[in-house]
Amino acid sequence: MVGHSSRGRKRVWMMMVLWISFLTLLCCCFTEAENTELDRIERCQTKCSQGLSCRTKADYWFPPACLEHLDHLNTSVFHNVSVSPVMTCAGKQKCKLNLRVKAVLELSEFIHGLSICTVSAGMMRNCQKIVFTKTSRTKLSGLLVRVDNDCTEISPSQQVQVTIKTIPDYCGTQWTSNYHPLGCMMEDLRRNVPECITGRLSYNTNLEKNELQINVSDMLEDHTYHLRLCHKDDYICAGTGDSTQIEKEQPVKSAVLRYTRPLPCLCIEGWSAVVDAPRVRVCPFQDRLEELWLGITFDPLEEALLWEPACPVNAVAALCEKKVDGTCVDLPEASQNVSRGKLKFAKVDPRPQLCMKFTIGSQSWVRCPFRDGIKAWDFVVTNKQGHRDVQLVSQIPATFSVGFCGRSANSTCQDNARSSVQVLKANNPTLIGKACNSCLQVKRQDVKYAANVVHCFDYCSQESRDLTWIVLPAAVCLTGIIIVNLVLHLLLTVYQRRKKERERKQTDSKVNCVASTMPTVRGSLFITDPPQCRINERANLISK
């Protein structure tokens, strides 16, 4: 029966806590609902069933040992015991929490009264002793009687053990239960019990000035109020920023605090200037996670990428390679779990394509620390007569894997199409190849993490102009030859029949004439190497 009622109480308590936190989160304009208000008592008292006269006596510090109970006494003396909180208030913000104990017991002439004791960790035993008069207990012997008492003061946040014993104390008859108090989350307590009064904070942010304008309400009256900024770390909030106080005389309970960065773990903490005052804490930027992914640094000596979370955060940090289409593809085996410590990716090739990706759940943020900064190496292109020379210039001795593959930035270079290039001397250009109409792919090999840098070259401009210059007259020439051949063929057929030598001589001289207008060089170039011309034509179309 006891277990059942305590489970029920727990459920009600949990529901209340959830409800209150929900309302507190939503707004600070919570109006007290009836069911969340505790019963108020003017003054504590003991009440006994009608006919049973009882009085409360001074408690005793050390209860005597229990008596072996008599045969005629039933061990289940206490039938129904309930424990609930009530409040006794001496004015605004001057309420105290009391425990109301209602016990139903089976009276016998051997029971002279009962004691209600509470004990909590580190606290003295606190007892109420209730005794019945001899006449009344004899009269009601064998009947169920009720005893109510609400004189036990409790703290709003400390668990207490409640023990009810008979007087004299017969062994095995006592009733014991643990009582979990409501805690200061309950609105009624937060407003009225000084131990629970934290004040309420509302704020406006000024992102340009890095300022928080804070208003305080419902604070402990006639006390100075403290405000500070702190960085939350699981349970504690470490004060590492601005702080101020609102004097009790100040009519407008308002203050301004300055912060350096709008971090998700930055909180405003407020409390009254009393010993052990409870504190209220609000964290204005808790959703601004993107603020955490700043401050990635590079150590050029160690070639290490470093980052430290400004707030404790559970995330995964990985290195990735930014592609032309904007996606960032994870590098293999380049992911680390982040919680609070410093993160280090050693041996990284600094390139604008190399980025860091932070992931929390399904959300990701990509930050590219080299986007407009350091490059350990680069390639230099020199236009030569009809081609381009590509040279690699590295600020440090390094090894590269180089390939000229494909014609689009996303074509992959097979391993056998790549060669290894070693740059032994810093800042010494090393020729790695000629590039026209192909994509250069370079990746550093002497580091652990490197991006594959792709650069595509179109036609070498001079060469392509030359080709156009050749192709056009050649086409004209070809057309000319075809027409002339057709005409020749036609004439030949007609005049062969007539077999007139004079006319045939005339035609021969025409052919010679046509042939002589076609320079043999061009003709032979065209005829001996037609596939090249055709390929070039098609390639021109593709590149346009």
Ligand X SMILES: *[C@@H]1O[C@H](CO)[C@@H](O)[C@H](O)[C@H]1NC(C)=O
Applying CB under 6 A, the residues found at the interface with ligand X are 74, 76, 79-80, 82, 102, 104, 202-204, 215, 252, 254, 335-337, 408, 410
**Beta carbon nearer to ligand X, 254 or 395:** 254
Q: How far is the CB of 91 from ligand X (least distance, A)?
A: 26
**Which amino acid is present at 353?**
Q
Task: Pick the closer one to ligand X by CB: 102 or 387.
Answer: 102
CB of 327 to ligand X, least distance (A): 11
Q: Three-state SS for 406?
A: coil
For residue 17, the minimal CB distance to ligand X (Å) is 23
| Sheet hosting strand 387-394, strand order edge to edge | 377-384, 387-394, 430-434
289 vs 293: CA distance, rounded Å: 8
Q: What is the 3-state secondary structure (H, E, C) of 454-503?
A: EEEECCCHHHHHHHHHHHHHHHHHHHHHHHHHHHHHHHHHHHHHHCCHHH
User: In this structure, which amino acid lies at residue 436?
Assistant: C
| CA–CA dist 391, 501 (Å, integer) | 68
CB of 79 to ligand X, least distance (A): 6
| Shortest distance, position 102 Cβ to ligand X, whole Å | 6
Among residues 27 and 252, whose Cβ is nearest to ligand X? 252
- State which residue, 243 or 412, has the beta carbon closest to ligand X: 412
Phi-psi region of 188 (alpha: psi -120 to 50; beta: other; left: phi over 0): alpha
Question: Least Å distance between CB 137 and ligand X?
Answer: 17
Residue 523 Cβ vs ligand X, minimum distance, rounded to whole Å: 40
527-530's contacts with Cβ under 8 Å and 24+ in sequence apart are none
Looking at the Cβ atoms of 333 and 501, the one nearer to ligand X is: 333
Between 133 and 335, name the residue whose CB sits nearer to ligand X: 335
Q: Which of 273, 263, 217, 256 lies closest to 240, judged by CA?
A: 263
Q: What are the residues facing 377 on neighbouring strands?
A: 394
Q: At what angle do helices 501-517 and 461-498 cross, to 10 degrees?
A: 180
Q: How far is the CB of 80 from ligand X (least distance, A)?
A: 3
How far apart are CB 335 and ligand X at their closest, in Å?
A: 5
Q: Which is nearer to ligand X, 82 or 536 (CB)?
A: 82
Contact 369, 415 (CB under 8 A): no
Pairing of strands 160-167, 113-120: antiparallel
Would you tell me how many other CB atoms lie within 10 Å of the CB of residue 188?
Answer: 21
Give the nearer residue to ligand X in terms of CB position, either 200 or 444: 200
* DSSP states of 201-240: EEEEEETTTTEEEEEEESPPTTS-EEEEEEEEETTEEEEE
Nearer to ligand X, 9 or 112 (CB): 9
